[in-house]
Amino acid sequence: MDHERLNLREVIWVGDSKVRLKEFPQSVQKDIGDALFIAQVGSMSPEAKPFKGVGSGVFEIRADYRRNTYRTVYAVKIGERVYVLHCFQKKSRRGIKTPKREIDLIKRRLRIAQELEENYERED
């Protein structure tokens, strides 16, 4: 498959997000990779849902494996790139709410992604 002809958006991994993803079970990595590929072609996977509380254009992919939930949060409305902000395993057994420390990290990395995009624009 010729990626150039598909006009794929570049994926930028912020912080340790790629390292964390590589720690997930193989099938989870594949599911998340498939959903990110769909984002790269400018569409949205049915597995992706808006991630509330940090701004528009931020989405979350959830993948379940053996009673564990794995999440990847990415941003698409920053320039032409897909920024993967955070990958983590949800540990909480009660409720669906994302822990505050994870949300704070995502917010910090979103600011980093915005700064990276500004620097890319200056180089063009």
What are the structural domain ranges in the chain?
A: 3-123
Write the pLDDT tens digit of every residue in 11-22: 999 999 999 999
Digit-coded pLDDT (tens) for 21-73: 999 999 999 999 999 999 999 999 999 999 988 888 999 999 999 989 999 99
- Rounded to two decimals, the pTM is 0.89
For residues 15 and 5, give the distance between their C-alpha atoms in angstroms, rounded to a whole number. Answer: 29
Tens of pLDDT along 95-119?
Answer: 667 888 999 999 999 999 999 998 8
Q: What is the pLDDT of residue 79?
A: 86
3-state DSSP call for residue 86?
A: strand
**CATH number belonging to the domain at 3-123, selected among 3.30.2310.20, 3.30.1600.10, 1.10.10.10, 2.30.22.10:** 3.30.2310.20
